[in-house]
Structure 1
């Protein structure tokens, strides 16, 4: 048996995934990198009238209008701090699998690191927070706990209708 064949048969491939790591205040969170379309610096935004306070506004990017939410304000009621590491992260938002994905902007603090780990390292944390369905599994490491954010669970039906009322152009 060749060395390559022995290596292939001896150790099953680990299911590693890449995550963008960021902070909301002092707490660490992660987004699956496959959901991230682009990481941008903070940009000027046009406010949206009658939107919840955690909806930061909208901006034009590559021919599309992109709504932006402040994830810190959504989760904890405190706007993200304006740091040099605070980013506007475009994610592919697709709450229904049959619908076309749309860009949604997230304002995230300290969004400068990545992590590659086994998906199985994230575990249920034992709480059912119905007010925050986007809070997912938790991973523990030497720095403490890190929670996975579910992009497609970020918006309620009401806010989704406000931010994505128009059909995307094809």
Structure 2
């Protein structure tokens, strides 16, 4: 679990994902909507010839709808053989976490599947929710990644 994590914000919470899953970070652009898609799937964008589904993590995690502004970014992820974009409020930084800085996640009801939380990163005053982004994006409700 020790390693480098890209940190991003959704509302007041700060999350971390494995930096090795991140392909690039882009400014938000309005995706092309897809009919009958789940509410959190904003649509798709054409990224250099690859059609990339865009998931709004605020909607996925049942956050209050945040505004799209100059800080809103899309993190392009490379998950197995699939490229997926996630919309977040802002990207913070890349942090190196050691094993002793990662605590087990508490067993509580959250809007995030508990199996997708790998732990909590503790850094002085900051607390990061570390996500298994590949598992989160391959959930049945996503319909994005085949098992």
TM-score between the two structures when normalised by the length of structure 2: 0.84
1:21 aligns with 2:7: yes
The alignment of Structure 1 onto Structure 2 pairs a total of residues equal to 143
1:157 aligns with 2:140: yes
The structure with higher relative contact order (CA 8 Å, sep 6+) is 2
Unaligned ranges ≥5, structure 1: 1-14, 95-100, 166-170
C-alpha contact 1:71 1:80 (8 A) present in aligned 2 = no
C-alpha distance 80-150 of structure 1, shift in aligned 2 (>3 A): farther
Unaligned ranges ≥5, structure 2: none
Instruction: Note the alpha carbon deviations across 1:127-157, whole angstroms, 9 max, x for none.
Output: 1658613223101222332111111122322
Pick the structure with more strand per residue. 2
Question: RMSD of aligned C-alpha atoms?
Answer: 2.3
Superposed displacement of residue 87, structure 1: 0.7
Corresponding residue number in structure 1 for 2:76: 90
Of 106, 116, 136 in structure 1, the residue corresponding to residue 96 of structure 2 is: 116
